[in-house]
Amino acid sequence: MTQNKYKILLVEDEINIRNLVATVLETEGYQTVHASKCKTAKMLFASYMPDLVILDLGLPDADGMELLRHVRTDSLIPVIVLSARSNEADKVQALDAGANDYITKPFGSAELLARVRATLRNNRFSCAEGRLPGGRFTLRELEIDYDARLVYLEGKEIHLTQTEYNIVALLSENCGKMMTYAAIIKAIWGSGAGEGNIKKLQVNMANIRRKLGDKPGQSNYIVNELGVGYRLSE
Ligand code: CA
pLDDT in tens, the chain (234 residues): 455 679 999 999 999 999 999 999 999 999 999 999 999 999 999 999 999 999 999 999 999 999 999 999 888 899 999 987 667 888 899 999 999 999 988 899 999 999 999 888 876 544 444 444 568 899 999 999 988 899 999 999 999 999 999 999 999 988 888 899 999 999 999 888 888 999 999 999 999 999 999 877 676 899 888 889 999 987
| Beta-carbon count within 10 A of 97 CB | 14
Q: Which of 21, 20, 16 is nearest to 8 (CA)?
A: 21
Q: Indicate whether this model's pTM tops 0.75.
A: no
What is the distance between the alpha carbons of residues 101 and 53, in angstroms, rounded to a whole number? 11
State in Å: Cα 57 to ligand 1 middle. Answer: 6
> Distance (Å, rounded) from C-alpha 109 to C-alpha 54?
14
CB 173 within 8 A of CB 167: no
Helix axes 195-211, 162-173, angle to 10 degrees: 90
Q: How far is the CA of 56 from the centre of ligand 1 (A)?
A: 6
Give the pairing of strands 179-180 and 156-158. Answer: unpaired
Stated as kind and residue range, the H or E segment containing 156 is strand 156-158
Return the bridge partners of 54, or none: 10, 80
CA of 175 to the centre of ligand 1 (A): 29
